[in-house]
Structure 1
Amino acid sequence: MFHDLPVLRRLHGRPARLLRRWLALSLLLSGLVVLFLPASARGTPGTTTVVSARDLPAGSLLRAGDLKLVDLPDDVRPQGATGLPSSVEGRMLVGAARAGEPLTDVRLLDAAIPGSGDPESSTVPVRLADAGVAELLRPGQRVDVIAAADAGREASVLASTAVVAAVGEQGTREPKASGAGSKGPLVLLSLPAATATRVAATSLERSITVTLR
């Protein structure tokens, strides 16, 4: 009877050893899972980033209500993102943005725009001679402004790299004074103040068009 005691002791100690091994293995696996989880899943603090607070159309002039701050992990935060709302407010959104989308430098218009408060910039409303050209324009595009040739004057470039600030509704077309065809919708162009004066004056006496960059 007593010769069975060593066997019983071994059997009695085996479950405890197995339990310790399973615990050690579980801890090891848990550590590996945590190690390879994304920073956001691990609860690691991210970097403060300016994102759109709602869906925004192209050409929007960004205001405080259009923006919000969120923490994004560095591995998903895009290059060119910023954490300073003041560096985004008052700038124009080149393309549409979904709610929660980080607003990077390439999505924002670098040039001065209407409402930015830049004293060196002015906004000029013009109607293009070809309505079809106006239909191709989108806020944020850069264009060259051309005065069409007329009697005794050749076509000339009035301004380079003007910025399209806004395009009026297509239904606002008006007939030309000559009765031939129609001009396009009103287009707002952002230009340096000195150049804007020349474009505005020329548009009163000559047809204006633009070339797309």
Structure 2
Amino acid sequence: MRALSRPLARHRRLIAAFLAATAVACALLSVRQPSGVAVLAAARDLSGGRVSAQDVTVVRLPPEAVPDGAFDERASVVGRVLSGPVRRGELLTDARLLGRGFLSTLGSGLVATPVRLADADAATLLSPGDVVDVLAAFGQEAAPQAVTVARQVTVVTRPAAGAVEGALLVLATTSEQATALARAQSASRLSVTIHPR
């Protein structure tokens, strides 16, 4: 028995060092960076409007699961405007944010035109893709006249909830409609009628 314990006693330090190194290696493996490609997703349900740093989180996906136009840096999305509501966990891509990538999907001859509705609550009835007519109410008398300024234009984005001084919409319009809307905004209050889908 003593003959067996002597070699173990001699190598006790060597065995202890080996076990300590094994423990360190296991600890390093447990804290290593998770695998996959880092991309940005919505940290919570977003109703639209401008993206803040708190609105986004990093998720990791296999390379083959990363869609075209995905973002991997917060600076690329913070301050940009969403094209519509986004669910928690949904990936943020160039198709979900206003900009060159999104505007290219509007169609030939169309531009993104911001218009402010007089009634902010009316904007809560709208969703991206809705088709509306824009009306302008002119005059200060008790019964102002309303005229249609733009017909059958598509809602691109609506504002986030909580707007107090009217609601800023973005519409896909022709250049001529954009000019008419700009003229009407300077001298009237705007509202919309919604076409059935």
TM-score (norm 2): 0.48
**Bigger strand fraction:** 2
Bigger radius of gyration: 1
